[in-house]
């Protein structure tokens, strides 16, 4: 039997806990700890950082958190966009919204509305021109 300190393997523990475990478990924990230390050392030595979404600083490095000012600017931009969409004729507004907000293809929009693709394209182009006029004038 080997005595181990659980704080070495579970750093979130606040009190010092020692435990007797079998030799096989002690060896397995030791190997795992060394592999983890080796991995951390390689990351540090080669300036590597993980890009997955696990909790940590990596997500903030790639996508820094928004400031309150930026959040307000985005809200104002969204409000202006939706106000401009409300001024378009309903068919153009629906098609522009489906194409650029929902990300649907022109083919999918035409199929859903049982319309010709060229008509849908023209309607979207006219809608974009109307949005540009409105946003240029008011923004």
Tens digit of each residue's pLDDT (9 = 90 or more) over 80-113: 999 999 999 999 999 999 999 999 999 999 999 9
Tokens 């939706």 locate to 82
Cα–Cα distance, 32 to 59 (Å, whole number): 26
> What percent of the chain has a predicted confidence (pLDDT) above 70?
83
CA distances from 120 to 34, 106, 108 (A): 62, 7, 10
Tens digit of each residue's pLDDT (9 = 90 or more) over 62-74: 667 778 899 999 9
CATH numbers and ranges of domains, the chain: 2-62 (no CATH), 68-138 (1.10.10.10)
Contacts of residue 37, Cβ cutoff 8 Å, sequence gap at least 6: none
**DSSP structure class, residue 47:** T
- Please state, rounded to an integer, the average pLDDT across all residues of the chain: 83
């Amino acid at each position: 039997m080997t005595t181990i300190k659980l704080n070495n393997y579970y750093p979130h523990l606040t009190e010092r806990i020692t435990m007797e475990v079998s030799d096989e478990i002690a060896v397995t924990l030791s190997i795992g700890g060394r592999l983890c230390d080796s991995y951390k050392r390689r990351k540090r030595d080669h300036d590597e950082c993980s890009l997955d979404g696990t909790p940590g600083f990596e997500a903030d490095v790639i996508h820094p958190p928004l400031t309150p000012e930026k959040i307000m600017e985005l809200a104002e931009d969204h409000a202006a966009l939706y106000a401009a969409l409300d001024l378009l004729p309903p068919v153009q507004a629906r098609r522009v919204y489906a194409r650029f907000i929902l990300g649907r293809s022109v083919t999918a929009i035409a199929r859903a509305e049982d319309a010709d693709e060229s008509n849908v394209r023209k309607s979207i182009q006219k809608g974009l021109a109307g949005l540009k006029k409105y946003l240029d004038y008011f923004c």
